[in-house]
Amino acid sequence: SQKIEQNSEALNIQEGKTATLTCNYTNYSPAYLQWYRQDPGRGPVFLLLIRENEKEKRKERLKVTFDTTLKQSLFHITASQPADSATYLCALSSFSGGYNKLIFGAGTRLAVHP
Amino acid sequence: DAGITQSPRHKVTETGTPVTLRCHQTENHRYMYWYRQDPGHGLRLIHYSYGVKDTDKGEVSDGYSVSRSKTEDFLLTLESATSSQTSVYFCAISESSGGRQETQYFGPGTRLLVL
């Protein structure tokens, strides 16, 4: 069956370090993968999209990699700040019924400590 | 929240009663979605719409119905609420890009408690 796995345990890191979050999937062949940020009590907010033919994408302090052989995406936040503390969701595209839909992982909570 | 509002933001209801949640957008986006979010499950798609009066089921559609009579409004109805439908409900929208919708923009969510 199709499955998306993100670390269910919170990731605690020190301010200034690089945070690395993992998204693994099985039995999917997504055309693209996205990362979203979600703060408590709010809806998810789009951060980055990476396509199946792209290895890496960057946006300011964020970097995403996409390895379709390993079926894995890594999400990096460099020079992390306490304001980066949030839950990060990975989402894979799934094409069915003529339309793309997103399948979300359960998310990983990141806590950046001063 | 990208011009998306949800109402109500909080609701407490009793088992067996019908409940309607409203999603309103000012972005004129073609696609609209309803998700529920529960601990350990992440976001799960309930129903989606690809145009006025055009809707389809997602992975957890049982017990829910939707309607879209105008581009800007997408209604989610729990026909007879059950305690298992206690959840946080999110509406999302996306526009069409080359025939493929990609980035989704989410509303603030509705917290529903069914007693």
- How many angstroms away from the CA of B17 is the closest CA of chain A? 25
Q: How many CA atoms lie within 13 A of A20 on its CB side?
A: 4
Instruction: Check if A55 contacts B (Cβ < 8 Å).
Output: no
Cβ contact B89:B10 at 8 Å: no
**What mean pLDDT do residues A1-15 have?**
89
Q: Strand locations in A15-85, DSSP E?
A: 19-26, 32-38, 45-51, 56-59, 62-67, 72-77
**What mean pLDDT do residues A9-26 have?**
95
Residue B106 has pLDDT above 90, yes or no: yes
Each residue of A34-77: pLDDT tens digit? 999 999 999 999 999 999 999 999 999 999 999 999 999 999 99
Work out the pLDDT band at B97, boundaries 50, 70, 90.
low
pLDDT for A34:
95
Q: Which of B1, B45, B58 sits opposite A43 (nearest CB)?
A: B1
> With pLDDT > 90 as the criterion, what percentage of chain A qualifies?
79
